[in-house]
Structure 1
């Protein structure tokens, strides 16, 4: 069966927020009996229990959690639509759910997010930080920021910056071990590698005069958090191959020194991924436009693509390493 009255979902929302039907009733201006009857009607129409009831509190069931997430987004979109109808210059409002790589979030994005929220105080930010590949559809985020070339045809991809991985190490490491002059010299160095899905990505690729070569590096440290890898490198623990955006501040300050600058690495662009072609909330498109503008002003970043381009071609995302392992 279908939900006959979408307004009944407000009882679900307020019960989840307040922890009880009586709290929901007070917020909605109805009696506890009416709130209870509305919830029972909703469960009957869906054929699923939405809350586990006890004498102390009400706890959402897995089905209730799923419906709650969609109900919250539905009411946010409705509120934004009403505001746009009333005034197409209405202030941005609602929640932005953003997934981003760990090091990029810490070194670049956090102050930009702060600035964006100061400009739009009606927005709330839910930031998911980590280096695993977020499924934009499954994880229910409004926007995922990812490195690499991407291929999911269900998503809208916009390039934010044409980054490439660069090889670097701290002056302290180079003072102890010397500088590599060719990719093959990396075989004699301690290289910090990344883990993805339980596998270490150890095959790094370089090119000169159009000829590519692969080097299977190794080292005494590997991690699944790109931010920690960069911190190890700055501390002098080894050599890293990492996005020019992430290590840009360390290269500028001298904390890291670029190596093999006359060797080319594989393209590693940064993209904004959106879960739908049909409707993009104005708060989301505004954030993407803002990020594209900020990245375009970075020294290593060229102008970003036009808004919401076609999905990128197929490749694997791997934080600066070659797609093989």
Structure 2
């Protein structure tokens, strides 16, 4: 039997958010009994238990989690449609929840987000910054910007940019310790590593004339936040291996120097990841389109600079 009452879905969503039927009832102006009846009606229509109930709280079942993911996005989409109908000129409205890497956000994205919000005053940005892995399907995220190959085929991805990781060090470090002349010199240097995809990246890969070599590196510090590796490199503490996009401003300012530029490294794509190809709000699509355009312009400018004699 199909779901017959949209209000019942709101009870599901608010119960999951607040942990109790009482909290959901208060938010919707319902008595606890009415909220409980709505949830039981929904479970009866679906023929599945959506929550495990206890005296302290209510916990979603796997079936409940699945329905919650779709219900949240369906209600968001409906709210946006209502707002677009009511708004003059069909202006974008609502919150866009974005997760993005630390250095990329601080070095490139923050002014772009400002420009997008200035162009769409009805949109709010909820920004989660960090390099720890997250589950885009479960977490409250509309779009996640992530480096590297795709690991989850359930996600819808759009490539925004293609970069490569490079070796970076400060002039102060190079003055004191010298510059590596080949990848095999790196074990003699203090290499600043960080976690990617939940694992510490201690094997760095390089190629010349199609021949790849792997170098295992180490150093006196590592972090689960890639921005700390960049900060340590800026402070002259060692050499790090990061995307060109993350250190554009540092390279332009001369505070970080690219090492071994004649060695190739593996492509490092940046994707916008969406939890689903369906029920994507217009404000989310607009932000992804906006970022894709900005990255395309930035890439064209960099290519132009590199090709200039």
* SS state at 1:134 partner: coil
- The normalised TM-score by structure 2 is 0.81
Structure 1: stretches of 5+ with no match in the other structure? 26-31, 54-58, 304-325
Offset of residue 4 of structure 1: 3.6
Q: 1:233-276 CA distances to partner (integer Å, 9 max, x unpaired)? A: 00000001100000111000011011111111110011111222
Q: Hey, what does 1:321 align to over in structure 2?
A: none
Offset of residue 139 of structure 1: 2.2
Give, in whole Å, the separation in 1 of the partners of 2:7 and 2:173.
Answer: 63
* SS state at 2:190 partner: coil
Conservation of the 8 A alpha-carbon contact between 2:24 and 2:35? no
Q: 1:193-245 CA distances to partner (integer Å, 9 max, x unpaired)? A: 12346643211111112222111111111111000000000000000110000
Conservation of the 8 A alpha-carbon contact between 1:100 and 1:146? yes
Conservation of the 8 A alpha-carbon contact between 1:192 and 1:221? yes
Conservation of the 8 A alpha-carbon contact between 1:100 and 1:129? yes
- For residue 58 of structure 2, the aligned residue among 61, 71, 76 is 61
Q: Hey, what does 1:293 align to over in structure 2?
A: 293
Conservation of the 8 A alpha-carbon contact between 2:92 and 2:122? yes
Task: Name the CA shift for 1:23/1:134 in 2 (closer, same or farther; >3 Å).
Answer: closer
Offset of residue 62 of structure 1: 2.9
Conservation of the 8 A alpha-carbon contact between 1:12 and 1:39? no
Task: Name the CA shift for 1:8/1:200 in 2 (closer, same or farther; >3 Å).
Answer: closer
* SS state at 1:242 partner: strand
Give, in whole Å, the separation in 2 of the partners of 1:105 and 1:255.
Answer: 19
Richer in helix (by share):
2
- Tell me, yes or no, if structure 1 residue 38 matches structure 2 residue 19: no
Conservation of the 8 A alpha-carbon contact between 1:169 and 1:238? yes
Q: Hey, what does 1:7 align to over in structure 2?
A: 7
Q: Hey, what does 1:114 align to over in structure 2?
A: 114
Q: Hey, what does 1:272 align to over in structure 2?
A: 272
Conservation of the 8 A alpha-carbon contact between 2:103 and 2:246? yes
* SS state at 1:264 partner: coil
* SS state at 2:252 partner: helix
- Tell me, yes or no, if structure 1 residue 146 matches structure 2 residue 146: yes
Count of residues in correspondence between the two structures? 290
Task: Name the CA shift for 1:199/1:156 in 2 (closer, same or farther; >3 Å).
Answer: closer
Task: Name the CA shift for 1:250/1:161 in 2 (closer, same or farther; >3 Å).
Answer: same
Conservation of the 8 A alpha-carbon contact between 2:11 and 2:38? no
Q: Hey, what does 1:317 align to over in structure 2?
A: none
Conservation of the 8 A alpha-carbon contact between 2:12 and 2:39? no
Q: Hey, what does 2:185 align to over in structure 1?
A: 185
Moved more, 71-80 or 229-238: 71-80
CA RMSD, Structure 1 to Structure 2 (Å): 3.1
* SS state at 2:160 partner: strand
Conservation of the 8 A alpha-carbon contact between 2:100 and 2:145? yes
- The normalised TM-score by structure 1 is 0.77
Task: Name the CA shift for 1:299/1:44 in 2 (closer, same or farther; >3 Å).
Answer: closer
Task: Name the CA shift for 1:301/1:282 in 2 (closer, same or farther; >3 Å).
Answer: farther
Moved more, 290-299 or 280-289: 290-299
Q: 1:163-200 CA distances to partner (integer Å, 9 max, x unpaired)? A: 11111100110010011111112121111112346643
What are the within-5 Å matches in structure 2 for residues 84-103 of structure 1?
A: 84=84, 89-103=89-103
Conservation of the 8 A alpha-carbon contact between 1:162 and 1:302? no
Task: Name the CA shift for 1:68/1:215 in 2 (closer, same or farther; >3 Å).
Answer: closer
